[in-house]
Amino acid sequence: MAPDGTQLYANRVALENSGLTLDEEIKEGFYARLCHPDDINRVRGERWIGLLDGVPFDLEMRLLHKSGHYRWYLMQYNPPKGESGQIIRWYATATDIDNQKRKEERLRNENHVLREEIDRSSMFEEIVGSCKPMRQILKQVEKVAAADSTDFISNYTVRSSTCLSPAIIASSAMCRKRPCSTTPVMESILAAMVSASSIT
């Protein structure tokens, strides 16, 4: 690239990946033609700042591959300088980091699911630990469930979440609003648990 960032050349690998000719890249603009619409404004702004600073910098962006799919690339810009310190050219290299970015995205999604599971578990422990009727229910469950009562409730919740979980949440709300006492909701929960234990 020229000192002002104007594209002058693209190597064979870059042209093969983009599916464009050198004339197409130069005349139509590399970023305008290939950069993902959600990235282009950010990339243009960060690139402009990097060019003004006149020091090496990196950018991550999604570029349109000749396959028709966008892939993540790490663009690294380096400006060789003359004896007086002026920039002679800008050289840019592109490294495909799409697999790495997808792994990072999967990890973020898995962490999000894990945090939600921890939050649900914490809410369950809070409900059971603070509500006397729920503790009484657990004692009843222990008599009819061969497994540990907490495991039984967790497993049953997974199988019948549409029935049990809303009732637990509703009963927890009742306990916070007034002194805990056995309610029709609690009785229905206990009945459901005892009934379920007969088929486990």
pLDDT, position 140: 66
64, 96, 128 - which closes a domain: 96
Give percent above pLDDT 70 in the chain: 60
Domains of the chain: total: 2
80, 119: one domain: no
The domain that holds 46 is classified in CATH as 3.30.450.20
65, 109: one domain: no
What is the residue range of 158's domain?
104-197
Report if residue 145 sits inside a domain. yes
**pTM for this predicted structure:** 0.55
Q: Which residues contact 74 (CB under 8 A, 6 or more apart)?
A: 58, 59, 60, 94, 95, 97
CB 175 within 8 A of CB 130: yes
71, 17: one domain: yes
156, 187: one domain: yes
- Residue by residue, what is the 3-state secondary structure of 101-170? HHHHHHHHHHHHHHHHHHHHHHHHHHHHHHCHHHHHHHHHHHHHCCCCHHHHHHHHHHHCHHHHHHHHHH
Block residue for tokens 């002058």: 8
DSSP state of 177: H
pLDDT tens-digit map of 179-193: 444 445 455 555 555
